[in-house]
Amino acid sequence: MKYLGIDLGGTNIAAGVVTQDYQIIGRGKAKTTVPCSEEEMIIQLANAANAALADANESIEQMAWIGVGCPGAVNTDTGIIEFSSNLFFHNFRLKTKLEEKLGKKVFIANDANAAAYGEFLAGALKGSQNSLAITLGTGVGCGIIIHGRIYSSSNFSAGEMGHMVIEMNGRPCHCGRKGCWERYAAATGLKQTTREFMEASEDRTSPIWKLVNGNLENISGRTAFDAMRAGDPVGQAIVDQYIQHLGCGITNAVNIFEPETLCIGGGVSNEGNTLLEPLQEYVDKEQYPITGKRTRVCLAQLGNDAGIIGAAFLGNLAE
């Protein structure tokens, strides 16, 4: 049996034909064109799906079903994207329309949840019945697995942990609040922290300034870590503060859910143990010790494939 998984993002659409042992044997990818009509989006999804099928030398008839992970509030019962700011859709009947287009049963879920499910099936969360997957990108995404199933809540919007406040009256957030976790822990938040520290720095000849060629517009999510490795005290100070901001939100999540395992993905996670070791130390120190057990913090293993694999097996959750 084979399955077709689609990871629909605001920037890219990635599709894959996935085997029962979670191997991707065919891929299709395209840039996401938004805003667009619902019909145009269905065509984009179908094109990516057909490209993956062609790459795997398979037909749609050979697929058990199609699964789609998409950003926003996704009603898994009705198959409707109720709201997605990244895709500019409101009450989009994606399931019905894609079934009509491709002639195959479709299941949909929030993209962060699909990625968490992928890690649960075949990656860093495998074997942990209660677990969390945190993705550090432009924002902070979170997928929640409880008793081996995706938890999406009564209104299908659970997991918006990026919008819990960790700094009262802090940085303004696009959601309308101030001091949200993602304004500090996301890659964009790390870049802003780096900029603020550099603007306050008096030494414009230090390694961190050389890394950006003296231009603040060249700051990336790696700048502070690279500066720290070069022995720059400003870089070290930025990383230390970032670990505190990231650790604060993760500890909050751990204290709420008490998961066995929490994995971290996204671009910042590429720092590996440089990020992971001080973060685990922070969480171990701050976690509320009810039973003495500690949540294991680790790196996600599947990268961008997590969303494809998780989406491909969404049909299992309907059984």
Write the DSSP assignment of 253-291 as a string of letters.
HHHHH--SEEEEEEGGGGGTHHHHHHHHHHHHHHS--SS
Model pLDDT, residue 45: 98
Residues 182 and 209 in one domain: yes
Residues 16 and 84 in one domain: yes
Residues 77 and 174 in one domain: no
Residues 93 and 208 in one domain: no
Residues 234 and 133 in one domain: yes
Residues 171 and 96 in one domain: no
C-alpha distances out from residue 55 to 26, 61, 150, 287, Å: 5, 15, 30, 46
Model pLDDT, residue 291: 65
Residues 103 and 136 in one domain: no
Q: Average pLDDT for consecutive 10-residue bins of the chain (319 residues)?
A: 95 96 97 96 98 98 97 92 89 98 97 95 97 91 95 85 96 93 96 97 93 97 97 97 98 94 94 96 87 87 96 92
Task: Let me know: does 242 contact 279? Beta carbons within 8 Å.
Answer: no
Tally of structural domains, the chain: 2
User: Which is nearest to 276 in space by CA: 295, 299, 294?
Assistant: 299
Residues 155 and 230 in one domain: yes
Model pLDDT, residue 157: 80
User: Which is nearest to 107 in space by CA: 141, 78, 139, 140?
Assistant: 78
**Residue 17, domain extent:** 2-121+305-318
Residues 163 and 286 in one domain: yes
Model pLDDT, residue 154: 81
Domain CATH code at residue 96: 3.30.420.40
Residues 181 and 240 in one domain: yes
Residues 14 and 106 in one domain: yes
Residues 108 and 12 in one domain: yes
